[in-house]
Amino acid sequence: MFDIILAIGPRQILLLMIVGGIFLLLPLIALIDLLRNEFTRNNKIIWLLVILLFPLLGAILYFVMAGKQKI
């Protein structure tokens, strides 16, 4: 078990940091964009729930689909 932990080198750590950064930054950027824009009806609340419940998939869906709903 400890052999796997010891086999992690600088490249794997860098890869983990990049992937982890994407998982953290993309939903954060989506939430900031959501707060800065106005939406029709109650779409802002719906998008907030989608981004919070499904962070990565919700953020991707937000950037792909929410542009048509912004005022």
Arithmetic mean of pLDDT, 13-27: 89
Domain ranges, ordered by start, for the chain: 2-68
**Range 28-42 burial, b when 16+ CB lie within 10 A, else e:** eebbebbeeeeeeee
Per-residue pLDDT reduced to its tens digit, 29-61: 999 999 998 888 888 999 999 999 999 999 999
pLDDT at 5 over 80: no
User: Scanning the structure block, which residue is given the tokens 């542009």?
Assistant: 67
Taking the C-alpha atoms of residue 67 and residue 71, their distance in angstroms, rounded to an integer, is 9
Report percent pLDDT > 90 for the chain.
46
| pLDDT tier, 1 (very low <50, low <70, confident <90, very high otherwise) | low
